[in-house]
Amino acid sequence: MGLGINHLSLEYYGIPVKTVTLAGVPYNPTAYTVQMAFMPQATQSPQSSDWQAAQWAAITSNILFPYAAYCLIGPGGTITLGTGTYVVYLKITGEPEIPVRYAGYLEVS
């Protein structure tokens, strides 16, 4: 999955989240903290300072991806990115799990 935005733009970057299950039962993850990291090198792993605050949205009409995480990118947003291609990661801080997922690429022109 890839997306492109202009470096002057201020907009939300969204990542769809599949149905979450806990012990085989569908579960709403929106009570947990969600964060994103935008890494300029594919070989870099996110460090604690790379994680940016994101927010949840529930999309009840979508059976496969009923949740999405969003981060405001651009001047005045949560993070301002320079031109380049970024590898995007998603992290959900739950209990006891803290999954980190590769979410795609973001091209900033």
User: Which tens digits make up the pLDDT trace of 44-66?
Assistant: 999 999 999 999 999 888 888 89
Print the domain residue range for 32. Answer: 2-108
At residue 40, the pLDDT reads 96
The rounded distance, in Å, linking the Cα atoms of 3 and 14 is: 10
- Exposed/middle/buried for residue 36 (C-beta within 10 Å: 0-12, 13-18, 19+): buried
The rounded distance, in Å, linking the Cα atoms of 51 and 45 is: 11
Q: Which of 1-10, 55-64, 77-86, 89-98 has the lowest mean pLDDT?
A: 1-10
CATH of residue 86's domain is 2.60.40
What are the tokens at 109? 């022109």
Return the percentage of the chain with pLDDT > 90, whole number: 71
Q: Identify the band that residue 95 occupies on the pLDDT scale cut at 50, 70 and 90.
A: confident
At residue 49, the pLDDT reads 97
Q: Identify the band that residue 81 occupies on the pLDDT scale cut at 50, 70 and 90.
A: very high
pTM of the model: 0.89
**Into how many domains does the chain fold?**
1
